[in-house]
Structure 1
Amino acid sequence: MAITIKKIITKCCQNSSMKALPRIIKAPTKFQKALWILGLLCGLLTSGYQLSLLFLDYFNFSTSVSIAKEMGAPPFPDVTICHLDKNWTFRMLEREFGGDFSVDEYNYKISELQTLYPSEGLSWGLLESLKGFKGYLQNDFLIHEEVEKLRRLFVIDCSVIYNWDPQPCFSEFEAYLTTNVFLDPEFGMCVTFSAVDDLIKELKLLLYLDDPYTNTPRRFTFVHDSNTHTSAVGAKVVIHPPKSFPDIWLGSRDIYAGNDVSFGIESTKRSVLGEPYGSCIMQTVDDPQSAINRHGYECYRMCARDQVLESCGCINIYYATTKEERNTTPLCGTINLNNITETFYRLRCAEEILVDLNDIMEEVCPCPTPCTQFTYDYSTNAVPWPAGVYHRSFYEQYIRSQPYAAKFHGYADLIEIEKDDPMGAVKKISELNLIEKNFAQLRIMNHQNDYYHYVETPLISREAMFGNVGGLMNLWAGITFITIVEILDFMYQLITKGTTGDEE
């Protein structure tokens, strides 16, 4: 049996595709045999070392990025605008909800309710948190009916360039945009404009930025800004990917009255890898909302909102709400005098969730992005607007028929004067600055005919890994796939011949 196995080993080594083994067996001198053994060991050690580095790179899941230029127009971004002075929203709502429905009356009712509880108690403190407009928003369910009126007061004209053809945004025949109006306790009323298809090349909005009932602008400050502003300064604009949440905190750009501000969009498509290479969400056909992008500070804000909603079954007082949400989802701060304990429970629950999130925010809110999405950079250009020669036509088209036209009576008076003194009236109209102080024009231009596509791919794919393994083993040790087959055949022969030898 020993002789048979020795013959098998000798025969396999002599016929092996590994060049070193036959030469070791046939070596005529000890020096040559030692040389080939040393060469084989060095090759195996070197290939083993390089293979270990290869496996480390592969299991680190490193990636590379390729860039390609693709032809065609990228999708039009979503555009969100909010009045720069959130108090504008609240003042307008106050005018609609006066008397028993005013914020002052609401705060008075809260104070009266607080007298039923000790001032140092938890219930008193929870009621105190409901004072102000945050609590008012939660307890006035008709408020969004008036917000839609404010949208039309804020955005007084909207038009698009659709497939290079100018069109109004909304008509009785077709709507080129959809709008989503929401109330945010931190930013007031905001409106998001979303394109219905990719053929929109430009969006133009005409904004009325001042309080139509106040001749003297209100003065106010922001918590994060020590400068003093007035209610006429302008609006916040956020340009963000379609179906994404606007990052108003960090991603907004301020525009000001008396300017025509154009945003030149530069779109880029990015395709990234999911697990195990990175964290992204793949949109599914059954759930189109699954790949909604939350980015920037707003991601954590919306995540906290969702955590409260999931754990407490309500939307907390610090977060934005839409009309649809208010009709379907309870609000944490809603006061039900017949069951006030329910209000206290929800407010306590929301407060506990937010406190707990402080330490685990990044763990609970990883904020993954869609695996494939467009990102938007832009350049801006602002020019004084409108020119004096257009003041009269602007007044007649956009102001004369509005309820706040009396605030701009100077233009109406000059139009009457024009009948007797045309030249003098034109000169005086151009000297009026009421339009510059109250209006701004905003243009979002998406004129790209091509865009760059950044595609993330594995630095070492499975195919590349197997190819590198084969190449390194063949280079340093002469081991190929055929060699592996030979080893398996060799083991089979050893087993079968060994068994035959035992029987004999």
Structure 2
Amino acid sequence: MMNQNARVPSVVLEDMTVTQLEEKRLGCRSILREFCLNTTAHGLPGIARSKTRHNRIFWSVAFIIFTGFGMMALVHDNTQLPLIETAGIELAPGRRHKLGYKKKATYFLSSPYTKCTDKVPFSMQAMFENYNNADYLYSEALCYQLCGQVYTYEQCGCVSPLLWNSRTLYIPSINRVVFADLCDYDNSCYTKAIGEVLTSSSLMNDYCSECSQECLIRNFNVQTSSLSAPADWEMEYIKTFVENSSIPLPVNWNSTWYEQIHKNYLVINVVRETSIVENNTQSAAIGTVDVLSNIGGQTGLWIGISFLSIMELIEVLYQLIRHEYYVIRTKIGIASQ
């Protein structure tokens, strides 16, 4: 009896452990399936939608044959949200890449000279809350992305999968922040909605009225170059490093390790070409003193009036008004008698 009672808890715990592992496995599969259905990589949505093994094998082979592999890189400032899907640089494997950059800063005058702004709107701040302790500043490009996503959500109930990181949206019509679902890649609703926003001035005024130019724009001019890599004398060292690491190796590694390294090897060297930062500062062409000087100069040149003449004219007008006031007051006094 003692042995039988001792086994019951272990069986229950074992069943609970199996159930938890199964739930985690299903959760991971659902996350992967959602990513595959909504990613812009051609072939992955076909794999996720496949109902049969043969269909899944077909899309998997097509994805491997026709899809390129590599890495994307982006040089940006710490206060800039990296929009790698639009500004990223694609890097191919089997090469040693060098990214040489120069920093450039452009400063614009605030109102009344320009309509630039550095204020982060609430819709953008709601998105920044998902980035832990990130100190991102206002971005005009991101502002237009968010307002386009808001209109798309109101029209389609989902947002563009191309902008998958812009899913936390503030919807003014319901005065609430939502985490929107991604539209299916083959759904034409989101492309139609974004096209409507971009081509309609009234919709731009309604949804993107807060999107003004930044008062400070930081750019990085990147020059890319690459060499074939790795060299033959590096192959043995790389092979030893890979075999001693936790990287999973293919079954035929012993016979194909040379090709595998060339296919998956990629090096990026980010180099600052110069410590000099190019600053472009917008300045007012005419100030208050310049305006007064121009008025005085132009009037003196063309009609011979100076500021002293203007003061004399003001004095004459004052004397005339005072005289008329005295005459009117005298007439009123005589009439009252």
Whether TM exceeds 0.5 here: the answer is yes
1:410 aligns with 2:265: no
Structure-2 change in CA distance of 1:330 and 1:215 (3 Å): closer
Which residue does 1:389 correspond to in 2?
233
Distance 1:269 1:188 in 2: 40
Tell me, yes or no, if structure 1 residue 470 matches structure 2 residue 269. Answer: no
Residue deviations 1:245-284 (CA, integer Å, cap 9, x gap): 52634x3332111111111111111012345544422246
Matched residue of 1:219: which SS? Answer: helix
Instruction: Give SS of 2:91's match.
Output: strand
The correspondence of residues 258-277 of structure 1 with structure 2, limited to 5 A, is 258-277=94-113
Cα displacement string for residues 281-320 of structure 1 (whole angstroms, at most 9, x for unaligned residues): 224699976843244xx775544213334x4796525244
Maintained 8 Å contact 1:240/1:246: no
Q: 1:380 to 1:399 in 2, by over 3 A?
A: farther
The correspondence for 1:329, drawn from 179, 186, 190, is 179
Is this contact kept in 2: 1:315–1:329, CA < 8 A? Answer: no
What residue identity is the alignment partner of 1:357?
A: V
Q: Is the deviation greater in 440-449 or in 239-248?
A: 239-248
Counterpart in 1 of 2:92?
Answer: 256
Partner of residue 161 from structure 2, selected from 309, 318, 321 = 318
- Corresponding residue to 1:219 among 57, 61, 65: 65
Deviation at 1:407, TM superposition (A): 5.2
- Aligned partner of 2:278: which letter? Y
Deviation string for 1:32-60 (max 9, x for gaps)? xxxxxxxxxxxxxxxxxxxxxxxxxxxxx
Q: Partners of 2:43 and 2:146 in 1: how far apart?
A: 16
Give the direction of change, closer, same or farther, for the CA distance of 1:471–1:500 in structure 2 (3 Å limit).
Answer: same
**Cα displacement string for residues 457-484 of structure 1 (whole angstroms, at most 9, x for unaligned residues):** 2333333222211222233334233322
Q: Indicate the residue corresponding to 1:360 in structure 2.
A: 200
Read off the aligned partner of 1:370 and give its amino acid letter.
E
Against the structure 1 CA distance between its residues 391 and 348, is the aligned structure 2 distance closer, same or farther, given a 3 Å change threshold? closer
Per the alignment, residue 401 of structure 1 pairs with 245
1:370, CA displacement in angstroms?
1.5
User: Which has the higher mean CA deviation after the structures are superposed, 263-272 or 347-356?
Assistant: 347-356
Q: Which amino acid aligns with 2:197?
A: L
CA drift of 1:452 comes to 1.5
Q: TM-score with structure 2 length normalisation? A: 0.61
Q: Which letter maps to 1:237? A: A
Matched residue count: 267
Q: Which has the higher strand share?
A: 1
Aligned 1:27-426 pairs, distance under 5 A? 136-137=37-38, 184-185=39-40, 218-220=64-66, 230-232=67-69, 234-241=70-77, 242-246=79-83, 248-249=85-86, 251-283=87-119, 291-295=137-141, 301-309=145-153, 311=154, 315-316=158-159, 318-321=161-164, 329-331=179-181, 353-354=193-194, 356-357=196-197, 359-360=199-200, 363-364=204-205, 365=208, 368-406=212-250, 409-410=253-254
Secondary structure of the structure 2 residue equivalent to 1:448: coil
Whole-angstrom CA distance in 2 between matches of 1:318 and 1:380? 29
Aligned to 2:310: 484
What secondary structure, in the 3-state scheme, does the structure 2 residue paired with 1:369 have? coil
Q: Name the SS of the counterpart of 2:314 in structure 1.
A: helix
Unaligned runs of 5+ in 2: 1-24, 45-59, 129-135, 170-176, 332-337
SS at match of 1:406: coil
| Identity across matched positions, percent | 15
- On the 8 A contact 2:146/2:166 being kept in 1, the answer is no
How many Å apart are 1:381 and its aligned residue? 1.7
The unaligned stretches of length 5 or more in structure 1 are 1-95, 107-132, 138-183, 190-213, 221-229, 335-346, 414-428
Please tell me whether the aligned partners of residues 239 and 246 of structure 1 are also in contact (alpha carbons under 8 angstroms).
no
What secondary structure, in the 3-state scheme, does the structure 2 residue paired with 1:442 have? strand
Describe the shift of the 1:386–1:355 C-alpha distance in structure 2 as closer, same or farther (beyond 3 A). closer
**In 2, Cα distance between the equivalents of 1:368 and 1:462?**
26
Does the CA contact (< 8 Å) of 1:313 and 1:330 recur in 2? Answer: no
C-alpha contact (below 8 Å) 2:152/2:158 kept by paired residues: yes
Partners of 1:245 and 1:294 within 8 A in 2: no
Instruction: Quote the offset at 1:501 in angstroms.
Output: 5.5
> Contact conserved, 1:134 with 1:318, CA < 8 A, in 2?
no
SS at match of 2:277: strand
Alignment check: 8 A CA contact 1:265 1:376 kept: yes
CA–CA distance in 1 between the matches of 2:192 and 2:90? 35
Tell me the secondary structure at the aligned position of residue 375 of structure 1: strand
